[in-house]
Amino acid sequence: MQRIRLRYTKRGRLRFTSHRDFQRAFERALRRSEVPMAYSAGFTPHPKVSYANAAPTGTGSEAEFLEIALTEARDPAVLRDLLNQSLPDGLDITDAVEARTSGLADRLTASVWELRLDGVAVEDARKAVEAFLAAEAVEVQRRAKNGMRSFDARAAVVALEAHDPQPDRSQDTPCAILRLVVRHETPAVRPDDVLSGLRAVADLAPPVPAAVTRLAQGLFDEESGTVTDPLAPDREAAPADSIPADRAAVATATDGAVSA
């Protein structure tokens, strides 16, 4: 049995697809591409697909990951291209490697997020960020299955910065870009929790919902303060002559950043 690990995106309007919607679209793409999938045993066999830490509905992403099991060996790059022909634009496979190590999910310990705050001046965003980072704890609330729950949104935040939008963006209305690095802890701290925290400590309330995109997720490197590519160990474990030239580049935390 061969295992292939894939990195995929949720772009544009496809950010509003739920994880279940993506599962259905991906399984249809597997059938159309005639991928030799391995199936689970039992009365209702399902293709062996393992999804890891999917982004919430409504957020875009450049760094979602999954793993599939095949009954016959396939070239990962060819498989990537075949699947992209059957997936809708916006759900794109951007990387594919053969799984040569264990513990992909264990390497997804942090995420890099971009939050576009239309209608918010950059200086106001910077002041709110300073107040958030200066706080020892920032208690926020989120509705859960058992009702409202309170938790600290500050402890999981590794970095939070406010930036100007890209120069080519229209200057008719103010806009601030937040870059957020957050650890995957329990309870999970999501970008909307950080926005709730900014509202709590600095009364920062964007007039329209923030456009949120995950730029990267992977293992957080304490020494460099960066989020590393979780597929890199599989590439490094592959024989040198098995890595095509166009697959040699390793994705970085800022790959595929959405224009602000």
DSSP characters over 74-126: --HHHHHHHHHHHSPTTS-EEEEEE--SS-TGGG--EEEEEEEEET--HHHHH
- Residue type (1 letter), 152: D
Fold of 110-218: Alpha-Beta Plaits (3.30.70)
Is the pLDDT at 169 greater than 80? The verdict is: no
pLDDT at site 208: 95
Is the pLDDT at 127 greater than 50? The verdict is: yes
- Whole-angstrom Cα distance, residue 71 to residue 37? 6
Rama region for 241: left / alpha / beta (φ>0; ψ in -120 to 50; rest):
alpha
Does 110-218 match 2-104+230-239 at the fold level? Answer: yes
pLDDT at site 48: 95
- Whole-angstrom Cα distance, residue 225 to residue 104? 20
pLDDT at site 143: 84
- Whole-angstrom Cα distance, residue 105 to residue 53? 8
Is the pLDDT at 12 greater than 80? The verdict is: yes
Is the pLDDT at 103 greater than 50? The verdict is: yes
pLDDT at site 174: 93
Between helix 191-202 and helix 122-134 the angle, nearest 10°, is: 90
pLDDT at site 166: 78
pLDDT at site 172: 74
- Whole-angstrom Cα distance, residue 185 to residue 197? 17
Work out the percent of the chain whose per-residue pLDDT is above 90: 78
Q: What is the mean pLDDT of residues 99-109?
A: 93
pLDDT at site 238: 84
Tell me if residue 181 falls in helix, strand or coil.
Answer: strand
pLDDT at site 42: 84
Is the pLDDT at 253 greater than 80? The verdict is: no
Sign of CA dihedral 127, 128, 133, 138: positive
Q: Which two tokens stand for residue 98?
A: 């053969």
Which residue from 114, 209, 218, 215 is spatially nearest to 166, judged by alpha carbons? Answer: 114
Q: What is the mean pLDDT of residues 171-197?
A: 93
pLDDT at site 245: 41
Range of lowest pLDDT (29-33, 41-45, 99-103):
41-45
Is the pLDDT at 259 greater than 90? The verdict is: no
Is the pLDDT at 256 greater than 60? The verdict is: no
Domain map (residue ranges) of the chain: 2-104+230-239, 110-218
Does domain 2-104+230-239 correspond to CATH entry 3.40.50.300? Answer: no
pTM, two decimals, is: 0.87
Is the pLDDT at 249 greater than 50? The verdict is: no
